[in-house]
């Protein structure tokens, strides 16, 4: 028996761009659901390059048993053509720890990656990388 989900997320996918918004504290059930939904959403690209913003400004914690699931999810993204990745997050000791744990098993990759604290920095970085942010994704980011 699996525990009920704790925490939640919203996935927005347009063309070849994913915005994942993560909220609250997650247990392994939510982390597994998230991993499955990411695979189903991005899997439709069939090995085409894609970009993502992982908005973790309102994400609080990941239980220890969730970390291996998140490591697999990150590895899957990198193996499936994630080429530009931004973590939108404040500087936080707990988020830095979680990020280090989640990325501990990541092998070498060619994905451009950065963490920024504001939506403006996020959009500027993507523009500098010459990545087009679809208007529906940009609008969602500007709402928060």
Per-residue confidence (pLDDT) for residue 34, from 0 to 100: 95
Name the pTM for this structure. 0.86
Q: What is the largest CA-CA distance in the chain?
A: 47
Question: Distance between CA atoms of 16 and 62, rounded to whole angstroms?
Answer: 27
pLDDT in tens, 54-75: 999 998 878 889 888 988 888 8
Q: What structural domains and CATH numbers belong to the chain?
A: 8-42+49-143 (3.30.750.24)
User: Computed from CA positions of residues 115, 120, 124, 130, in that sequence, does the dihedral angle turn out positive or negative?
Assistant: positive
Task: State yes or no: pLDDT of 127 exceeds 90.
Answer: yes
Under the banding of pLDDT at 50, 70 and 90, the label for residue 29 is very high
Task: State yes or no: pLDDT of 109 exceeds 80.
Answer: no
């Amino acid at each position: 028996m699996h525990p009920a989900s704790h925490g939640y997320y919203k996935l927005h996918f347009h063309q070849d761009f994913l915005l994942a918004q993560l909220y609250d504290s997650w247990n392994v059930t939510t982390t597994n659901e998230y991993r499955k939904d990411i695979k189903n959403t991005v899997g439709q690209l069939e090995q085409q390059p894609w970009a993502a913003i992982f908005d973790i400004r309102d994400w609080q914690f990941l239980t220890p048993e969730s970390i291996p699931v998140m490591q697999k999810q990150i590895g899957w993204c990198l193996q499936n053509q994630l080429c530009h990745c931004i973590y939108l997050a404040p500087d936080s000791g707990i988020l830095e720890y979680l990020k280090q744990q989640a990325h501990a098993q990541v092998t070498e990759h060619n994905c451009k990656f950065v963490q920024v604290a504001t939506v403006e920095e996020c959009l500027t970085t993507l523009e500098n990388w010459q990545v087009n942010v679809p208007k529906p994704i940009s609008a969602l980011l500007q709402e928060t």
